[in-house]
């Protein structure tokens, strides 16, 4: 099964891949290791997960204004997500996405944290503000 969600572009471009979804805000500075792309914040629900190459879905960023530099460093090291989706992007994530060239959308017509699940395959066209989501089914992660 597939569905579409429309939102607003923060940083243009396109990216696609497996979704990694968190209902918690994420701090990139100190919360994500830029050398591995692994979430190292032990209090975060994505602790131990690698965000590299994923479509990262989370409500918003938090923490230090140095967070954009961590996102940029991840991009330069090949450890960044291929796209990001927020409920409402704030300056930390928006600036990081622009610096790193990572497509970013927010303010979607439906709550992406309720519609998109980890493992779903998501195509982000930030220029158009659209997401195409292919729902993953079964325990083997097969798409419908």
Q: Which tokens hold the place of 134?
A: 């292919």
What string of H, E and C letters represents the secondary structure of 6-47? ECEEEECCEEEEEEEECCCCECCCCCEECCCCEECCCCCCCC
Q: Give me the residue label for tokens 């979804």.
A: 21
Q: Which tokens hold the place of 77?
A: 């090291």
Is 64 a catalytic site residue?
Answer: yes
User: Three-state DSSP class for 60?
Assistant: coil
Q: Cβ-count burial of 18 within 10 angstroms (0-12 exposed, 13-18 middle, 19+ buried)? A: middle
User: Three-state DSSP class for 109?
Assistant: coil
Catalytic residue among 22, 64, 75, 89: 64
Catalytic residues: 64
């Amino acid at each position: 099964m597939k569905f579409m969600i429309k939102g607003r572009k923060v940083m243009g471009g396109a990216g696609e891949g497996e979704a990694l979804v968190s209902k918690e805000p994420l701090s990139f500075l100190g919360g994500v290791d830029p050398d591995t792309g692994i979430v190292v914040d032990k209090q975060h629900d994505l602790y131990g997960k690698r965000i590299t190459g994923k479509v990262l879905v989370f409500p918003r960023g938090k923490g230090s204004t140095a967070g954009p530099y961590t996102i940029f460093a991840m991009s330069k090291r090949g450890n960044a997500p291929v796209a990001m989706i927020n409920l409402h992007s704030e300056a930390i994530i928006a600036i990081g996405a622009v610096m790193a060239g990572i497509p970013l959308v927010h303010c979607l017509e439906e709550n992406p944290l309720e519609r998109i699940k980890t493992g779903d395959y998501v195509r982000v066209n930030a220029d158009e503000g659209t997401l195409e989501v292919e729902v993953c089914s079964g325990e083997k992660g097969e798409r419908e």
